[in-house]
Amino acid sequence: MNTYSPTGCRFRLCGRVDTADGACLTWPGTSVFFRFKGKLARVNWRNENFGAPSILGVVVDGEERQYPVGGSGDGIAEIECKEDGEHDLLIYKRMEGHFITIKSVELDGELLPLPNAPKKRIEVYGDSVSAGSVVDCEEYAGKSDPEHNGQWDNAYHAYPQILARELPAEVYDTSQGGISIFDGTGWFEMPNTRGMESCWDKCRYSSYVPKSDWDFHFVPHVIIFAIGQNDSNPDPNVLYDPEKKEAWIKKYLEIINSVRARAPKAAAVMALTVLNHDPVWDEAMEEIKDRLGGESGRAYHFMYTRVGKATPGHPRYSEQKEMAGEMREFLGTLPAEIWED
């Protein structure tokens, strides 16, 4: 077996990956991709668990697989291909509640050159919908969530990753279930909740482990902002209070402007999801778009056909595909120069 570092030149890292000691996959959907000639890949990993028992996602030549990694500790995933030959292999962070480091990859053959990366680049700042929470429970489409413990979470089936495959594009999915804008609101890390204001610039962002800053080397053409549905906790009427609404909008604008300072040419797209929510949040997103200058400021507000009214539970795979398709069509209407470097 030949041993390789996942940070080597023939590995493609996508999403916010901490490379201080291997390739630590942090935000959902973060991944390592490579091509090899052979039949067997052995992935050595170290898991830091702070939620439900964890599952590592793997896609081999288009075939999706799951590898339980449980709680914190080290382990090995034996990935055997159906036949000896050339293979594409994607290792990705399927769910929330853990950070997993790919320490090394052992192959019974050799690495192959990478294909060219997609030319389009997108980043998504979102919550549990964008992260793919409870997405693989299709029999509950249009219904409230069943009892679950993370087993149906799958970032690969969330609209950012579907969009990435359909465009195609490189997509960095900076999303976390329960997250809001402000600390002290939402559901992320209850009871001491933390919002995007404390996480937007982080690679390792959970308070359960040492945090690390993100270096913003990935410069997107389009940035999708899909946060807002969790900000109704603990006060569902927060946007009906003019003073609180203004504070919320100003903080959202502060985060957007801070992100765009790292990508000054990027278009900003505000787009809440099809999960049921009060239309007041969509109205606030429209106001944010206007304050950013609208189309002249490369700022857009996109509303899905069933925004805020498709389901009381998390969108399932079919509903996520619906969102991805509509977002793809919308992005196709943007000026061509947006996709230019």
Residue 337's Cβ-count burial label (10 Å; 0-12, 13-18, 19+) is exposed
Q: At residue 286, what are phi and psi to the nearest 5 degrees?
A: -60, -40
Q: The pTM is what?
A: 0.97
Sign, CA torsion 323/325/326/332: positive
Q: Tell me how far CA of residue 291 lies from CA of 59, 101, 167, 250, 333, in angstroms.
A: 42, 40, 29, 10, 22
Q: Which two tokens stand for residue 306?
A: 């069933």
User: In the chain, pLDDT over 70 holds for what percent of residues?
Assistant: 100
Residue 80 has pLDDT above 90, yes or no: yes
For residue 53, the model assigns a pLDDT of 86
- Confidence at residue 73, expressed as pLDDT on a 0 to 100 scale: 95
pLDDT at 115 over 90: yes
Strands 222-226 and 121-126 come out as parallel
Q: pLDDT by residue (tens digit) across 238-295?
A: 999 999 999 999 999 999 999 999 999 999 999 999 999 999 999 999 999 999 999 9
**10 Å Cβ neighbour count for 242?**
8
- Looking at residue 99, what is its pLDDT? 97
C-alpha count within 13 angstroms, C-beta hemisphere, residue 303? 15
The tens digit of pLDDT for each residue in 134-191 reads 999 999 999 999 999 889 999 999 999 999 999 999 999 999 999 999 999 999 999 9
275 contact partners, CB below 8 Å, separation of at least 6: 129, 229, 308, 310, 311, 312, 313, 314, 315
| pLDDT on residue 51 | 85
Domains of the chain listed by start with CATH number: 2-112 (2.60.120.260), 121-339 (3.40.50.1110)
The answer to whether residue 52 scores a pLDDT higher than 90 is: no
The average pLDDT across 60-69 equals 96
Residue-wise pLDDT for 187-232, tens only, equals 999 999 999 999 999 999 999 999 999 999 999 999 999 999 999 9
Mean per-residue pLDDT over the chain, rounded:
97
Q: Is the pLDDT of residue 132 over 90?
A: yes
pLDDT score of 93:
97
